[in-house]
Every structure is written in structure tokens, then in C-alpha cells.
Amino acid sequence: MSRRRADLQQLDIAHWPSVDYSALAGRARESYLKRQLAVELYAKGESVRSIVKQTGVEMRQLYRLLQRCLAVHDDTRLFGYRGLLPRQRVRDYVRRKQVNTLDPRGSRGTAGAFGMLLERHPGLQTWLKHQIRDRRVFLEQVSTCNRTGAQDRCARSARARRYNTPGTTRGDRA
């Protein structure tokens, strides 16, 4: 397998931000070290086939990891080795599909819908920020950590049925 990505031929990993991988637990550390070795071998000019054999990191994953490492972090530097951390987000989620609010299963499949709304209506985002800043609107995060997924879904469904019953008011929701 030859290198197919001309844009990744000259990697300068010497100046990449590093990671204290000793702070990672077992599997996460093992995964990180495999990824790091794969990227370093690629930067040294090893063939992709050789990298796959030595590290177990497949070609598609290797290129995805390289793109993550080359992404720009919020601190304006490259992600560098930070891009190899397992379960580390490199960019925010951006919804691409339209939201189907008529789905009979409820609100499933609506991830990112609010962000999409704010992106389409920048005035709404500005207004909402002002409302929050002036303490006219309060945001509350509801924790569901003490419930299993099935119990949580049942509880939400029961609340939704109770609150959406015709004739109920805000006072009925307490």
C-alpha cells in the first residue's frame, strides 16, 4: 500500500502539543499508544501496510487520526497528539439532515436540532444570549444519572403525556 495522501507527506510532529498518557487508564492508554506509534511511523515515512501490521491501526482510521491531529484546537494550536485521545471531540456536532418532528416515536433523531435553529436564525441566538445575561431566562440541566435508560424513557414519556394533556396549565405540572 503506497501513500495516497499528498497533503500528509510532510508532517512536522516535533512541535505538536503532547499528552500525558500516563494519566490514562488501561485500555485508553493502550489505544492511545497504538495510535501514537502509527502516526509517528507514518511521519517517518513507513508504508501504510507496514503501519497496519505493526500497530493494528487500519488505513482509514490512520488517515482519520491524522486529520484529527491536524485540526485546529480552541487554543489556536493544532490538536497534535491530543487528537489521538480516545473519545476526545475534535469538532462540535453539526446536524446536516432536516429534523422530522412528526416522527411517531417522539423526539428521537433530533440531536443538534437546537443548534441548527440558532445557526439559521442568528438574531434568535443573540436575543437568547441577552435574555440569559439579563437573567430573564434560566437554564436548568436535569440529571438522569440515577436511572437506567429504560426507566428514564418511561418517566419522560409519562411526564410528556401528563403535560401535553389538553386543559393542563403550568400549575398542573408541579
The per-residue pLDDT string of the chain (174 residues; one tens digit each, 9 = 90 and over) reads: 455 566 666 777 888 888 888 888 889 899 999 999 999 999 888 889 999 999 999 999 999 999 999 888 888 888 888 989 888 877 777 777 777 777 666 667 777 888 888 888 989 989 988 888 888 887 777 765 555 555 555 555 555 555 555 555 555 544
Instruction: Tell me which residue range forms the domain holding 160.
Output: 92-167
Does residue 58 share a domain with residue 104? no
Does residue 73 share a domain with residue 20? yes
Pick the last residue of a domain from 33, 63, 84.
84
Give a yes or no: residue 133 inside a domain: yes
Give a yes or no: residue 48 inside a domain: yes
Task: Look up residue 10 and give its three cell numbers.
Answer: 510532510
Task: Look up residue 164 and give its three cell numbers.
Answer: 401535553
pLDDT for 151: 52
The residue to which cell 389538553 is assigned: 166
- Rounded-to-integer distance, Cα 128 and Cα 121, Å: 11
Does residue 28 share a domain with residue 47? yes
pLDDT for 160: 56
Does residue 31 share a domain with residue 98? no
Pick the last residue of a domain from 84, 104, 124.
84
Bridge partners of 72, per DSSP, are 78
Give a yes or no: residue 138 inside a domain: yes
How many CB atoms are located within 10 Å of the residue 142 CB? 5
Does residue 102 share a domain with residue 68? no
Task: Look up residue 139 and give its three cell numbers.
Answer: 437554564
pLDDT for 159: 56
Give a yes or no: residue 1 inside a domain: no
Task: Look up residue 20 and give its three cell numbers.
Answer: 500525558
Does residue 96 share a domain with residue 80? no
Within the chain, strands assigned E span none
Give a yes or no: residue 123 inside a domain: yes
Q: Are 33 and 20 in contact (CB under 8 A)?
A: no
Does residue 79 share a domain with residue 10? yes
Q: Based on the structure, what is the number of domains in the chain?
A: 2
- Rounded-to-integer distance, Cα 19 and Cα 32, Å: 10
Pick the last residue of a domain from 26, 52, 84.
84
- Rounded-to-integer distance, Cα 117 and Cα 101, Å: 13
